[in-house]
Amino acid sequence: MIKNLNIAAIISILIFALSGCSMEEQNTTNQTREESNISSTSSDSVAPVLEKITAEKAKEMMDSDQPIILDVRTTEEYEEGHIEGAILIPDNEISAKAEELLTDKNATILVYCRSGRRSAHAAQDLSDLGYTKIYDFGGIIDWPYDVVAGK
């Protein structure tokens, strides 16, 4: 009988100890999540707009506003066909040339490349440089509208 009580007491102590550890870990995890949410909320309020949009939305913005259209492909790709009015700054030259060619950091900038990979990278680079309204509409391969060839 005493042996059974000792075993029951040991099991109770172990359960209590383990549940205490679990609660502490859960509280720490919840606190970390809350802190993360607070910091992302406060940084979101000052963060620039960096948004992925469709080709259709980009065309709508081009027709209603005067955005800067930024092609981040190579010179050869640009000359094969680009959106009329687009400025060429290859993605690997964004950091070096953006501030020289894109002087208004509050202008609306629509970024595209061939398939969407380089435009995403370039859009992030522009955001890092302090540009505030950047819209990445992916690749020209998904552009259903007219393009022009040449420089």
Task: Write the pLDDT tens digit of every residue in 52-91.
Answer: 999 999 999 999 999 999 999 999 999 999 999 999 999 9
Hey, which residues are catalytic here?
A: 113
User: What is the average pLDDT score of the chain?
Assistant: 81
Q: Which residue has the higher pLDDT, 121 or 25?
A: 121
| DSSP code per residue over 11-65 | HHHHHHHHHHHHHHHHHHHHHHHHHHHHHHHHHHTTSPEEEE--HHHHHHHHHHS
Q: Which residues contact 14 (CB under 8 A, 6 or more apart)?
A: none
Supply the pLDDT for residue 151: 81
Residue ranges of domains in the chain: 1-46, 49-142
Task: Tell me the three-class secondary structure of 79-118, residue by residue.
Answer: HHCECCCCEECCHHHHHHHHHHHCCCCCCEEEEEECCCHH
Q: What is the pTM of this model?
A: 0.68
Supply the pLDDT for residue 150: 86
Supply the pLDDT for residue 49: 81
CATH class of 49-142: alpha beta
Structure tokens at 56: 């259709």
Evaluate if residue 93 carries a pLDDT over 70.
yes
Structure tokens at 94: 């964004």
